[in-house]
Chains A and B, each alone.
Chain A
Amino acid sequence: MASVLSLEHLGKQLPTQQHTWLFSDITVDIASPEITLIMGKSGQGKSTLLRLLGLLDTADDGTIRHLGKTPTEWGPEKWRMSVSYVAQQPVMLPGSVEDNLRAVSRLHKRPFETELARTWMEAVGLGEMDWSKQAAQLSGGERQRVALVRSLLLHPTVLLLDEVTASLDTISKRATEELLVDLHRREGTTLLWITHDWEQARAVGQRIWFLAGGRLLEDSPADRFFEGPQTQEAQEFLSAHLVQKEDAPCLP
């Protein structure tokens, strides 16, 4: 059976400096549905990588395939419906919360799954939200969750999550993580998830991609990555985090 997602020698140059690679030669394969967390320092091209997979940016090298077919074979709209990107800075569409939730139904002339939308809104801690509220008035965290539910209603095969819990409080973050993990278990959705949140990576990640120096340095099962990373860069990255954690003030 064809891989859910495969990347072959994928590379992207810096937009401002031609012939300087942000990252290059990324070859990796997601054979079956799983939760992959992408980690690495800022500026390594993690978001750009997700944008390439979500067909929002063009790669300068390499090819990508989803279920054995290239984006051209899928057609851009079909690809994006199956491999959906959720941005770090969520953008609300003009109108109310309901208008946003109904976006997929409106675009693709599908019946609106009211009950499912309500269940998922509740799951991310927005059960009490007034759907007639103007989306522009929502807080950052509310926008992030509404944008996530809006994308979930597409029922994509792969969700590209760009730090989607970054502006959430701990309770909302845990609730969102639970929803996404549950979705993976029930519907077999593959999650490709950028995070800087260590606990999150350990709690939900089945596999870790570690990006550094313009390369995909590690592609390991999560347990193995956290217990004994293969590369020196990953070891330094992990130890820097541990130092940071030990230095953090302990609250009574």
Chain B
Amino acid sequence: MSSMSLWFSFTFVVIALLLSMWQKLGLEKEIAIGTVRCAVQLLAIGYVLQFVFHTDHPIYQALVIAMMIGVASWNASRRGDGLPGILWRVTASLTVTATLTMSLLLVLGLIKPTPQYLIPITGMIIGNSMIVAGLFLSHMKRETETARGEIEALLCLGANKKQAIHGVLKRAVKASMIPTFDTMKTIGLVQLPGTMTGMIIAGANPLEAVRYQILIMFAFSSSAAISAALISALAYSSWFTRESMLRP
């Protein structure tokens, strides 16, 4: 894709801007910020990846992955604003999820241990886990408020924190995993996902591209389950005080 073509792609942003102005939606600032951030972030990561692939040094790969985990953890933990220690809990669950899933992919020989495979696939795993963790925290916040009476009734019967919040936790874990499995059910019928589309555009055989996409989707299912289980195990106590009282 030439630089000229990239400039032409701004036509789509101009369409969005014009529609916003015409309909008086007041989204011009949002569209402008989104456009600049999207272009700058992607170009920056493009240069970073080019450098990392070129040098092929593990420390740079680790740094890129650490940055991904950092940004994803910060983003997901915002859903649990006000909960003590939520950032480190999300960071720990995303780190363990990425490590476990990637180790499994490497040990089973499903991907090659090169930065071209490791970085994009780890990024996708972390991205999916970030969505799961964010959804879990949002659901927990809402559910804990709705089920406050139920939790307190159980506490009054001598339940410990885990027993008292178990029902709410189960509902939140389930709700956070559903979108991943819903996507698996409709993939290929509704949307052609990123990996597959990218590979086909780059000239790969569609069947080869599909194989990789299946691999990614299956990896997503396990990473969604791992991250939901981890974040729920690490975060449920944040809803209670040290004296096992439900936070106001």
Segment at the interface with A among B135-143, B186-194, B230-238, B239-247 = B239-247
Could you tell me which residues of chain B, from 149 to 175, have a CB within 8 Å of some CB in chain A?
Answer: 149-150, 152-160, 163, 167
Number of residue pairs spanning A and B whose beta carbons lie under 8 angstroms apart: 68
Could you tell me which residues of chain A, from 74 to 115, have a CB within 8 Å of some CB in chain B?
Answer: 76-78, 80-81, 84-87, 89-91, 93-94, 103-104, 107-108
CB-based contact B150/A81 at 8 Å = no
CB-based contact A108/B158 at 8 Å = yes
**Per a CB cutoff under 8 Å, which of B156, B246, B248 touches A87?**
B156
B206 to chain A, nearest CB (A): 48
**Per a CB cutoff under 8 Å, which of A55, A71, A72, A151 touches B157?**
A151
CB-based contact A91/B243 at 8 Å = no
> Which B residues touch A86, using CB under 8 A?
156
Bound CA span A150–B150, Å: 13
CB-based contact B152/A77 at 8 Å = no
Q: A91-B149, A107-B163 are in contact. Are A54 and B156 (CB under 8 A)?
A: yes
> Which A residues touch B243, using CB under 8 A?
55, 58, 71-72, 76
> Which A residues touch B163, using CB under 8 A?
107
A52 to chain B, nearest CB (A): 10
Residue of A nearest to B155 (CB): A80
**Per a CB cutoff under 8 Å, which of B156, B246, B248 touches A151?**
B156
The number of residues on chain A lying at the interface, defined by a beta carbon within 8 Å of a beta carbon of chain B, is: 30
A147 at the interface (CB under 8 A from B): yes
CB-based contact B156/A56 at 8 Å = yes
CB-based contact B244/A77 at 8 Å = yes
Q: A71-B243, A77-B244 are in contact. Are A94 and B157 (CB under 8 A)?
A: no
B208 to chain A, nearest CB (A): 49
A146 to chain B, nearest CB (A): 11
A16 to chain B, nearest CB (A): 11
CB-based contact A85/B156 at 8 Å = yes
Residue of A nearest to B248 (CB): A15
CB-based contact B245/A57 at 8 Å = yes
CB-based contact B153/A104 at 8 Å = no
CB-based contact A87/B152 at 8 Å = yes
B170 to chain A, nearest CB (A): 11
> Which A residues touch B153, using CB under 8 A?
87, 90-91, 93, 147
Q: A56-B245, A58-B243 are in contact. Are A107 and B156 (CB under 8 A)?
A: no
Residues of A in contact with B (beta carbons under 8 Å apart): 15, 54-58, 71-72, 76-78, 80-81, 84-87, 89-91, 93-94, 103-104, 107-108, 147, 150-151, 154
List, sorted by A's number, 20 A–B pairs whose CB atoms are closer than 8 Å. Answer: A54-B156, A56-B246, A58-B241, A72-B243, A76-B155, A77-B159, A77-B244, A80-B157, A85-B156, A87-B153, A87-B156, A89-B149, A91-B152, A91-B153, A93-B153, A104-B157, A108-B158, A150-B157, A151-B157, A154-B157
Beyond A58-B243, A150-B157, list 19 extra A-B contacts (CB 8 Å): A55-B155, A56-B155, A58-B245, A72-B243, A76-B245, A77-B244, A80-B155, A84-B156, A84-B158, A87-B152, A87-B156, A89-B149, A90-B153, A93-B153, A104-B157, A107-B158, A108-B158, A151-B157, A154-B158
Nearest 8 pairs of A and B residues by beta carbon: A81-B158, A91-B149, A76-B244, A91-B153, A85-B156, A80-B158, A107-B159, A77-B158
